[in-house]
Amino acid sequence: DTAVSQTPKYLVTQMGNDKSIKCEQNLGHDTMYWYKQDSKKFLKIMFSYNNKELIINETVPNRFSPKSPDKAHLNLHINSLELGDSAVYFCASSRGLAGGQETQYFGPGTRLLVL
């Protein structure tokens, strides 16, 4: 049983295209996150949702739009893809917010390559 799953695993696309990445967790968690890991391996928070409500929205270009249809799903839509968007995108979930005490469970990642 996969706790946090993401699709697709790999995404190769042309600059200017629009693409979506989907994430689902079956842990019953209230909070979900999107992270970006660049080529230097820095893992940076992009967004988080708690019970479908947007909690964190870091300084991310508005070409990136998260959507949480229910608390088990968090999708990421990217418009007008740019070369600099190439990275690995990780979805994660936690039981709640709890000020940093909560363990985060990560998905396997989506490797995005923009050509």
Partner 1 sequence: SQKIEQNSEALNIQEGKTATLTCNYTNYSPAYLQWYRQDPGRGPVFLLLIRENEKEKRKERLKVTFDTTLKQSLFHITASQPADSATYLCALHGSGNTGKLIFGQGTTLQVKP
- Whether 12 and 115 have beta carbons less than 8 Å apart is answered as yes
CA 107 to chain centre: 9
Distance of closest approach, residue 36 Cβ to partner 1, in angstroms: 11
Give whichever of 17 and 68 is closer to partner 1, judged by the CB atom: 68
- Decide whether 77 or 106 has the Cβ nearer to partner 1: 106
- By beta-carbon proximity to partner 1, the closer residue of 72 and 106 is 106
Burial of residue 70 (CB within 10 Å: 0-12, 13-18, 19+) is exposed
Note the residue count of the chain: 115
Report, in Å, the least distance between residue 47 CB and partner 1.
11
**Considering the complex, what minimum distance in angstroms separates the CB of residue 103 from partner 1?**
4
User: Between residues 44 and 79, which has the closer beta carbon with respect to partner 1?
Assistant: 44
Distance CA 85, CA 2 (A): 27
Instruction: List contacts with partner 1 (CB under 8 A).
Output: 4, 31, 33, 40-45, 48, 50, 55-56, 90, 92, 94, 96-109
What is the rounded distance in angstroms from the CA atom of residue 56 to the CA atom of residue 9? 24
